[in-house]
Amino acid sequence: MQKRQDAQEQTAMFLERCGIQVTDREKQAIEVVDFGLPDYPSSGLQLLTYINTPRYCAKELVLFPRQTCPEHLHPPFNNTPGKQETFRCRWGEVYLFVDDEELTLNTAQGEPVCQPPTGFEQWYTCQRYILLRAGEQYTIKPNTRHWFQAGQRGAVVSEFSSESRDDLDIFTDPSIKRVG
């Protein structure tokens, strides 16, 4: 419980650092996601959801330094093509790996720019990425595999999307459980 509260406090500080004020109620509503994996915070994510309806969704994603959200996709459901989401970086840097042929391969003079969490490398197959810095954004098409990792200082990313159904997400790592 204390670990969760500490993560919520740290998340609120990250949000405030980039000018996003949060109420006490919102601080308590921050979701600390460990994906059922044993290596939180290395693998994990902190979320503040403002609204999520069948029409649209708005959230803040907070990543601690080098924290990684595991590879997944948002499949079709209820006669929709699946969740389409736009990530807009508000603070820090986030490396967004996406199955998109138009993006750059994950190498710089042969060296990877990011490393998947140790022991979980086999579950990270997307090799093309875009580096988002404050003020930059990218839209992920529905049913497209992706994962992301914060830079050295961490990152705050606003997500605007169609309806979010986290319970339907398909993770490359079959051991992942999408619970807060």
Q: What are the φ/ψ torsions at residue 8 (nearest 5 degrees)?
A: -65, -40
CATH number where 81 lies: 2.60.120.10
Query: What pLDDT was estimated at residue 111?
Result: 63
Number of structural domains the chain divides into:
1
Sign of the alpha-carbon dihedral angle for 170, 175, 176, 180: positive
Range of the domain at 15: 2-171
Q: Tell how strand 146-161 and strand 128-133 pair up.
A: unpaired
Per-residue pLDDT of 12-22, as tens digits, reads: 999 999 999 99
Per-residue pLDDT of 26-71, as tens digits, reads: 999 999 999 999 999 999 999 999 999 999 999 999 999 999 999 9
Nearest to 97, CA basis, from 40, 138, 46, 45: 138
In a domain, 77, yes or no: yes
Mean pLDDT along residues 1-11: 92
* pTM as predicted: 0.94
In a domain, 88, yes or no: yes
In a domain, 166, yes or no: yes
